[in-house]
């Protein structure tokens, strides 16, 4: 199943077009960040490690944003395409189990996104050249990005199993990406502002944990906050990272259960 999926993906035009575009955009963003940093601070007074950190952070956030935009393309159409080309009935009446079908689709869509992650390594090496970034930062940021992408792939596959048409599944997947990335951030900042103006206390903002949990809660499903948590020193933000990881893994697991249920129902085949 995985071999078939990967073979089909690599034969599509987007198999080479998307990685190319991805690298071009990522390269452009990092180059822009480099010139912005060096121009602002002046060519003489700048520390190499500062440039390295700026480039690394720019790369990590840009990469996450781009991959979040690409995940629905690979996952949300994965099962609906079988429905559209009427091959799902043949798969379900073969000896492949629903779990094997899901696993094949999941691994192939995730592997393709991971391929993009790997192709960005040369761009990442630019940040290394300036220093200021250690292996731990790279590891934690990469691990966090992979958890987020795996969860979003699982959600995309759920959408794919729930809808008949790829266009609908992809639209709902994108809506989910926007909801967790943008809507949660807006909800957080609006409620924080309201809370601060109501209390007018200096304590708010000193520490993440001084903010009431009811206000913080939406940010635990925000992928950019999750990534931010991975950069913080372990003692300071480690609990937040763990909470985010639990939330994303739970969301992903829920999506898996619902997808398998949809595949086993089979009524829409």
| Residues found near another protein in the complex (CB under 8 A) | 1, 4, 7-8, 11-12, 82, 85-96, 266-267, 269
Q: How far is the CB of 166 from another protein (least distance, A)?
A: 14
Q: Phi then psi for 238, rounded to 5 degrees?
A: -60, -45
Residues 77 and 159 sit within 8 Å (Cβ to Cβ): no
Q: Give ∠ CA 260-111-125 in degrees, rounded to 5.
A: 145
Least spacing, CB of residue 88 vs another protein, in Å: 8
Name the residue nearer to another protein (CB basis): 4 or 261: 4
Indicate the residue among 93 and 193 with the shorter CB distance to another protein: 93
Taking the least distance from each CB to another protein, the nearer of 111 and 187 is 111
CB of 91 or CB of 171, closer to another protein: 91
Q: Is the dihedral of CA 252, 256, 258, 262 positive or negative?
A: positive
CB 70 within 8 A of CB 77: no
CB contact burial 225-257 (16+ within 10 A = b; e otherwise): bbbbbbbeeeeebeebbebbbebbeebbeebbe
Report in angstroms how near the CB of residue 115 gets to another protein at its nearest: 19
Beta bridge partners of 32: none
Q: Which is nearer to another protein, 43 or 267 (CB)?
A: 267
3-state DSSP call for residue 204? strand
For residue 127, what are the contacts with CB-CB under 8 A and spacing of at least 6? 30, 52, 53, 55, 56, 59, 133
Q: Which is nearer to another protein, 87 or 201 (CB)?
A: 87
The nearest distance, CB 78 to another protein, in angstroms, is: 13
- Least distance in Å: CB of 107 to another protein? 16
In whole angstroms, the minimum distance from the beta carbon of 91 to another protein comes to 7
């Amino acid at each position: 199943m995985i071999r078939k999926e990967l073979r089909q993906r690599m034969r599509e035009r987007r198999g080479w077009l998307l990685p190319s575009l991805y690298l071009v955009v990522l390269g452009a963003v990092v180059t822009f960040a480099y010139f912005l940093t060096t121009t602002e601070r002046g060519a003489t007074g700048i520390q190499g490690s500062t440039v390295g950190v700026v480039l690394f952070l720019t790369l990590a956030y840009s990469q996450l944003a781009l991959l979040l935009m690409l995940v629905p393309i690979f996952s949300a159409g994965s099962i609906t395409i079988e429905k559209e080309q009427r091959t799902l009935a043949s798969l379900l009446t073969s000896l492949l189990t629903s779990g094997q079908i899901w696993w094949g689709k999941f691994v192939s869509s995730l592997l393709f996104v991971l391929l993009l992650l790997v192709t960005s390594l040369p761009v990442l090496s630019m940040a290394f050249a300036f220093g200021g970034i250690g292996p731990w930062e790279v590891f934690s940021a990469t691990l966090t990005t992979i958890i987020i992408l795996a969860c979003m792939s699982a959600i995309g596959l759920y959408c794919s199993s729930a809808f008949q048409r790829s266009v609908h599944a992809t639209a709902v997947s994108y809506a989910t990406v926007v909801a967790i990335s943008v809507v949660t951030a807006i909800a957080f900042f609006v409620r924080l502002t309201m809370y601060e103006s109501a209390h007018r206390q200096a304590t708010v903002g000193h520490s993440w944990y001084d903010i009431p949990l009811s206000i913080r809660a939406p940010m635990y499903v925000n992928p950019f906050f999750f990534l931010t948590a991975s950069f913080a020193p372990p003692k300071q933000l480690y609990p937040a990272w763990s909470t985010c990881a639990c939330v994303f893994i739970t969301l992903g697991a829920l999506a898996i259960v619902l997808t398998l249920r949809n595949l086993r129902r089979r009524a829409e085949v």
